[in-house]
Chains A and B, each alone.
Chain A
Amino acid sequence: MMPTTAIRRGLGTGLFHGAAILLTVAFLFPLIWAALNSVKTSDEANQQPPTWLPHSLSLQNYRSLAGFDQGIGTYLVNTVVLCMFTVVGSVVVCVLGGYGFARYHFRGRSVLFGTTLAILMVPYATILLPLYIVLGKLHLQNTLIGLALVLVMFQLPFGIFLMRNSFESVPRELEEAALVDGCSGFGALWHVSGRIVAPGVVTVALFSFLTSWNEYLAPLIFLNDGAKYTLPVMLVNIRYASFNILDIGALQAGVVVAMLPCLVVYLALQRFYVSGLITGALRG
């Protein structure tokens, strides 16, 4: 009976999309809700019960956010600086290290590689305590550079592993040809392999960006000067700073500022993210 199967198939597809759309709405709702609330007027955003759609659009919440404590500008600059240090640091260290591990034989090579991967085994939160002391000895406590170095260290297992694999996939002959042509070891790395391993580099950069932009615990511990705080720390502070009068609109504007760059960067670089997952997560 053709019509019945067609109907049944149509019904199945309808049910499928119905369920999928319901779930999609559930997943996107908190994100959209924060965005919607952030553009309401301050009164409407703090209204009880809440309104579903903004009655009028306003930047009031963003203005109160801008004036919070040291000013959103300071926190944004801190976060961007931290991200730059972390991304550049991770990329430089991982590219050099990955190349060294892939191409050269030296004493202690496998010990160093194994130790680097062992960072993954050690829970991050447990070594923050002594790291605090080490950074103090290096005079890097309460600095964005010190914080960035710690974040770079936590990127190493993934980054070194990924970059070593990338360089190993570059045919050696290509580089030897460059060496014969008079390139130095570093020149060979730069000119010949650079292009081929570019996707790996983007992946390392993307992961270290997302980590450093979102990191909460490490800045909370290592930074003790309000003028150095990053966005995630500020977000949580908005709540505790404003004792009785909690400005929900401003907090949601802060949430939007904190999450928007991640969403945009992720959507733009999605394919690098997935390729990173394949190498990073599935080596088990």
Chain B
Amino acid sequence: MLTRAPAGTDSPAADPVTGPRRRTGASAARRSVVGLAFVAPTAAIVAALFLVPLGILVYMSFTDWPLLGSPRVNGVENYRQLGSDDRFLGAIKFTIVYTLITTVVLFAAAFVLVAISNSPRRGTLFYRTAFFLPYVVGTAAASSMWWIDANDQLGVFNHALQTTGLVDQPVGLLATPTKALLTVIALVVWKFVGFQLMVLLVGLQSIPAQLYEAARVDGASTWQRLRYITVPSLRPTLALLTVLSVTGSLLAFDQFFVLTHGGPDNSTVTVVLALYNKAFQSFRLGSAAAEAVVVLVVLVLVNVIQLRLLREREK
């Protein structure tokens, strides 16, 4: 199942189909070889950079793998230790809380923006573009920007709060665990809600206009049209966005690494950040691999469950 690409078929051009002859067994076989040649680069990359690393990851998780020296197989020791690893357990708890809040807030914000962007009034294209632009900016750039803006002395957020009279004293937006979490969530909503908005708009446009016409003729109110046409039609889109938002939040790294660096007092360490620290700061590769396998299994399960729910709903 790895590389099915046979050697020596790198140049598909060496296979001219001459003349308008009927397809015989031999030419079918030849076509199959040409097909393999076309997908050979894909197969090579998938095998070398996806399947092999996946295998190594699983193997690593059963070893004591130091940075220097040779790895030693130690069975399920790494997994057993994870059960009492407070850093890891704390990171899981924090990541789940973060994921729940972020997903809810993202959807709430997206619905407000959809209401604006989908209005028949003028100017909506401009608003829509503005809401989407932060999504195009990279997370490192966006987080750096917010890190400056959230500074209590030099940052513009505090300046704005003080100018408008909302606060008297500068607020340390990253100073306490709760404030740091809220600031990161604000950043994430600002940056990613545009994507949700776009996907929702595409979903809305695919609902046939006749449905709404018919409902209007039957005297359905705006609320009823929303309840009985829009929401049911959007269900697959909403389910998909939930999967993406949950998966993305469970894997959050950049925004925490740049904005809070896990602080204050390691209160904002996500699972991937904990994994990164373990692998590349403490160099406990085997243990980090076990963490990665756990995260991977959980995410595959979450995805499979979500997709199954999706399919059932469509039936």
Contact = CB atoms under 8 A, between A and B. Distances in A.
Interface stretch (B12-20, B100-108, B210-218): B12-20
A284 B310 contact: yes
A30 B145 contact: yes
A48 B153 CA distance: 6
A239 B258 CA distance: 9
A179 B136 CA distance: 42
Contacts of A254: 141, 144
A13 to B, nearest CB: 6
A143 to B, nearest CB: 14
B285 interface: yes
Given A16-B116, A282-B240, A27 B133 contact: yes
Contact of A121 (B51, B112, B137, B303): B303
Interface stretch (A53-61, A64-72, A182-190, A197-205): A182-190
B280 interface: yes
Interface residues of A, number: 96
Interface string A261-277: 01100110010001001
Interface in B33-48: 33-39, 41-43, 45-46, 48
A96 B296 contact: no
A134 B49 contact: yes
Contacts of A1: none
Interface string B1-44: 10010000000110111101000000000011111111101110
A266 B136 CA distance: 7
A140 to B, nearest CB: 10
Contacts of B42: 93-94, 96-97, 100, 112, 116, 156, 160
Contacts of B116: 16, 19-20, 23
Contacts of B126: 24
Contacts, number: 290
Contacts of A20: 116, 123-124, 127
A119 B126 CA distance: 35
A235 B140 contact: yes
Contacts of B33: 106
A234 to B, nearest CB: 9
Contacts of A179: 17
On chain B, which size bracket covers the interface?
35 or more
Contacts of B253: 125, 217
B155 to A, nearest CB: 8
A184 B15 contact: yes
Interface string B227-255: 00000000011011001100100110110
A49 B272 CA distance: 36
Contacts of B240: 281-282, 284
Contacts of A105: 31-32, 35
A93 B34 contact: no
Nearest 4 CB-CB pairings of A with B: A104-B35, A214-B138, A100-B38, A232-B140
Interface of A: 13, 16-17, 19-20, 23-24, 26-28, 30-31, 33-34, 46-50, 92-94, 96-97, 99-101, 103-109, 111-112, 115-116, 119, 121-127, 129-131, 133-134, 138, 149-150, 152-153, 156, 160, 179-180, 182, 184-187, 210, 213-217, 221, 232-233, 235-236, 238-239, 248, 251-252, 254-255, 258-259, 262-263, 266-267, 270, 274, 277-278, 281-282, 284
9 contacts: A20-B116, A30-B190, A104-B38, A106-B36, A119-B46, A129-B57, A134-B48, A214-B138, A217-B257
Interface of B: 1, 4, 12-13, 15-18, 20, 31-39, 41-43, 45-46, 48-54, 56-57, 60, 112-113, 116, 119, 121, 123-124, 126-127, 129-131, 133-134, 136-142, 144-149, 153-156, 158-159, 162, 190, 194, 198-199, 202-203, 206, 236-237, 239-240, 243-244, 247, 250-251, 253-254, 257-258, 272, 275-276, 279-280, 285, 288-289, 292-293, 295-296, 299-300, 303, 307, 310
